């Protein structure tokens, strides 16, 4: 399993995201570039860390390691794999926010960021790639000085419960689909 993980793409993304998260924790949130201009949100180290982490999570569910678990191991190991990958995303999200992320925002970020891209990865790799791009797009599409909208999950602070509950359901659905219905298709 470890060899499978190391032989695949996702460990590099996981390593990159944790490195970036550490950097974001130490340096704060310096803006690296403003793709849409100065009046829109820029790309920060923390945002890059979250994007890498979410995409890495999606890839990890389709990695050779995950495929090996699907063929040889029981559901318990797949659940363990899923939880470890999810915890990695949680750790990145927490470090990016200086370990001060509100629980509902954490669930929202994990659900609509990692959960949905993971779910899409299990169903269609093209859909997952596209969603990764859209995640990036939604982050930089928020005007500077205004709170991020609901469609920018990595930056949005939810007020109501509906989006948070739906995000939790997405994560659960992703977990159930992965654990109960292991993929035997060729990995990425």
Partner 1 sequence: MRAQLRGRLVWLVTGLMLAAMATTLSLRDADWMGDALWGQETIGVAQVLVLPLLAGGAAVVGWRDVGGILTLIPAGRQRWRHFWATFGAWAIPVVALYAVGNLFVIVASWWSEPSIPNATPWPAITQTAGALLVFVVGYALGVVLRSWLGSVVAALLTAAVLILDRMGAISTGLAEYAASGTMLGAVANPAYFGMRLVWMVFVGALIVALLVTVPRRRTGLLVALGAALVAGQLTFPTDDSYGIRPKRADTCTATPVVVCAPPEFRDRAVRAAEMAGQTGAVLRALGVSSPSRFVMWQPGRDHLDNLRLVDPGTFRAPLTLQTVVAGVVAPLSCGLWSGPEPPPYSWFYSKALVESFVMSQLTARITEPYGRLLTAKGAEQSRALVTQAATALQECDLAKVPPSFSNQ
Which positions lie near partner 1, rule CB under 8 A?
Answer: 33-40, 125-126, 129-130, 133-134, 136-137, 140-141, 143, 146, 151
**How many C-beta atoms surround the C-beta of residue 30 within 10 A?**
11
Cβ-based nearer residue to partner 1, 99 or 133: 133
CB of 72 to partner 1, least distance (A): 27
CB of 146 to partner 1, least distance (A): 8
CB of 122 to partner 1, least distance (A): 17
Cβ-based nearer residue to partner 1, 74 or 126: 126
* CB-neighbour burial class of residue 81 (10 A; exposed 0-12, middle 13-18, buried 19+): buried
Nearest to 77 by CA among 67, 87, 62: 67
CB of 109 to partner 1, least distance (A): 20
CB of 33 to partner 1, least distance (A): 5
Cβ-based nearer residue to partner 1, 23 or 36: 36
Cβ-based nearer residue to partner 1, 47 or 179: 47
Cβ-based nearer residue to partner 1, 41 or 97: 41
Q: Which residues pair with 31 in a beta bridge?
A: 44
């Amino acid at each position: 399993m470890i060899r499978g993980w190391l032989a695949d793409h996702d460990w590099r993304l996981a390593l990159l995201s944790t490195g970036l998260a550490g950097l974001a924790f130490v340096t704060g949130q310096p803006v690296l570039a403003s793709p849409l201009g100065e009046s829109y949100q820029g790309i920060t180290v923390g945002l890059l860390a979250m994007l890498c982490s979410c995409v890495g999570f999606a890839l990890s569910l389709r990695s050779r390691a995950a495929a090996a678990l699907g063929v040889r191991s029981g559901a318990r190991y797949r659940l363990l794999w899923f939880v470890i990958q999810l915890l990695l995303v949680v750790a990145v999200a927490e470090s990016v926010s200086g370990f001060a992320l509100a629980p509902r925002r954490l669930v929202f970020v994990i659900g609509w960021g990692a959960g949905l891209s993971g779910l899409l990865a299990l169903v269609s790799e093209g859909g997952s790639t596209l969603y990764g791009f859209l995640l990036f797009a939604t982050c930089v599409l928020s005007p500077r000085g205004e709170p991020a909208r609901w469609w920018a999950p990595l930056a949005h602070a939810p007020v109501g419960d509906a989006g948070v509950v739906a995000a939790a359901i997405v994560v659960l659905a992703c977990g159930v689909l992965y654990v109960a219905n292991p993929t035997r298709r060729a990995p990425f």
